[in-house]
Amino acid sequence: MEQHIETIVVGGGQAGLSVGYHLKRRNRPFLILDDRARTGDNWRRHWDTLRLYSPARYDGLPGMRFPGPGGAFPTKDEVADYLESYAARFELPIEHDVRVESLTSGNGTGGYVVDCGERRFTADNVVVATGTFGTRSHIPEFSTELDPAIAQLHSTQYLRPDQLPPGPVLVVGASHSGADIAIEAARDHHTILAGRGTGQLPVPLESRRARTALPVLWFLAQHVFTLRTPIGRKMRPEIRTHGGPLLRVRAGDLEAAGVERVTERVAGVRDGKPVLDGGRVLDVASIVWCTGFRQDYGWIRLPATVLGDDGWPLEERGVVPSSPGLYFTGLAFQSAFSSMLVGGAGADAEHVARHLSDRPVTAARTPRPSVRER
C-alpha cells in the first residue's frame, strides 16, 4: 500500500509534535509516524523516579503551557501524559506502532520514499525527529567478556533499585543520568560511580538560589550557549560526546550518600571483572551502563552524504543542504543548549517548519485548518 503525504515526520516525541504544530498552523499536510503504542511512551519507559531537570514553566511546547505549578519539576509520566494531551488538543495526525525501515530517494522525482514494511509513503519532505542523542544504546564491546554472573543493564533498561541483585553496583558514566541512578542504588548497595567529571550547576537545582538563577540560566541556554557564539560552538562537541553537567544530584550529594566516585574510565575486563584504566579490578555484582547512545541512521539510504564522520547529521539548524526536503530536529545542541530540553524543542521545530513551508509544493494537497492559539 502506497500513499503520498507532502511531509512525513519520523518520531512522535516533543520534537516531532512541535514540528506538527507549526506545520498545521501553516496549513501544510503531514503525517507523524511513531513506533510506540501511545504518544509519550518513550518517556514512560524511563526509570521510575526520573523527573525533568527544568521546572514546568520552561517545559511547555508551542501553543500549550505545561500544566501544574510553574516551579514544580515534572515526573517522566507527567511529561508523557502532557505530550499525549498536546497531540490530542491540536489534533495532530499520528500513526502509532509504525516503524520506518528505510528512507530512500524518490527515483528522480525529487522526493522521498518512506518504507514501513507493509506500508509505504512517498513524500516531498521528511523530518527526522527520532531523539536527542540517538536511538541505539551504547555499551562497550568488552561487556560481553564479563562474568555472566554480573547483571548488566543499560540506563534504558533500569527502572528501580530492586532490579539489582545483592552486592556492589558499578554505574558507568558520570553525567546526570549516571549520578541520579548511582545515588538511588546507594540506598541499598555499595555503589561505585565511574567516569570523567562533566561539571555541575553552580547551585543546587531545587534550591532557592537556583529558582532565582533559573531565568538567567534559561536565557543563557537559549541565547548565549548557541552556535552563534564561540562559547556555544565550543560546548557542542563536549555535550554531544561526554554528556551534560550534573544537575539535580551534585558531587557533594554523591559523597553524602556513600557513593564511591572514581574518575578513571572502565577500560576492559580481567578475569571476568571490570577493570579501570589504572588497573584496579572491581568486584561487583551488577553494572548499570549510563554510557549514552549512538546515532543510528542506517535506515537513511540516500545517494547524497547526509551524515558526518562522527555519525551526526550534516545539517544547518535542521536543514540538510545536500538533500533538499530532508530535515532533522530534536538533536542535542541542534542550535543551542536548550535544543535538548523539552521546552527548547519548539524553536528548532519552528525554524524547520518555516523553511519547509517556503519550498514549492510538488503535489496537490488539501488545505487543513490552522491551529488556533489557545
Other CB atoms within 10 Å distance of the CB of residue 150: 20
For residues 4 and 79, the answer to whether their CB atoms sit within 8 Å is: no
- Residue 121 is inside which H or E element, if any? strand 119-128
Percent share of the chain, pLDDT over 90: 76
pLDDT for the residue numbered 340: 86
- Domain 2-134+295-358 superfamily per CATH: FAD/NAD(P)-binding domain (3.50.50.60)
Give just the sign of the alpha carbon dihedral 143, 100, 339, 180: negative
**Rounded Cα gap, residues 191 and 187, in angstroms:** 9
On the question of pLDDT at 366 being above 50, the answer is no
For the cut 60, the answer to whether the pLDDT of residue 316 exceeds it is yes
In this structure, the strands spanning 169-172 and 151-154 are: unpaired
Q: What is the pLDDT confidence band of residue 108, given thresholds at 50, 70 and 90?
A: low
Quick count: other Cβ atoms within 10 Å of Cβ 230? 7
Rounded to whole angstroms, the Cα distance separating 235 from 251 reads: 21
**Domain edges within the chain:** 2-134+295-358, 138-200+245-289
Helices and strands: H and E segment counts in the chain: 8, 17
Phi, psi of 116 (to 5 degrees): -120, 35
DSSP string of 289-354? E---EE---TTEE-SS--B-TTSSB--BTTB-TTSTTEEE-S-TTSSBGGGGSGGGHHHHHHHHHH
| Cβ atoms of residues 326 and 346 within 8 Å | no
Residue 199 has pLDDT above 50, yes or no: yes
Residue with cell 503525504: 5
pLDDT at 46: 93
Please identify, in words, the CATH class of the domain defined by 138-200+245-289. Answer: alpha beta
Q: Write phi, then psi, for 338 (nearest 5 degrees).
A: -70, -15
Q: pLDDT tens digits, residue range 12-57?
A: 999 999 999 999 999 999 999 999 999 999 999 999 999 999 999 9
Per-residue confidence (pLDDT) for residue 327, from 0 to 100 = 98
Mind listing the pLDDT tens digit for each residue in 318-360? 999 999 999 999 998 999 999 988 999 999 999 999 999 998 7
- Would you call 246 helix, strand, or coil by DSSP? strand
Mean pLDDT of the chain: 91
Segment 241-299, tens digit of pLDDT: 777 788 889 999 999 999 999 999 999 999 999 999 999 999 999 999 999 877 789 99
Q: Is the pLDDT of residue 142 over 60?
A: yes
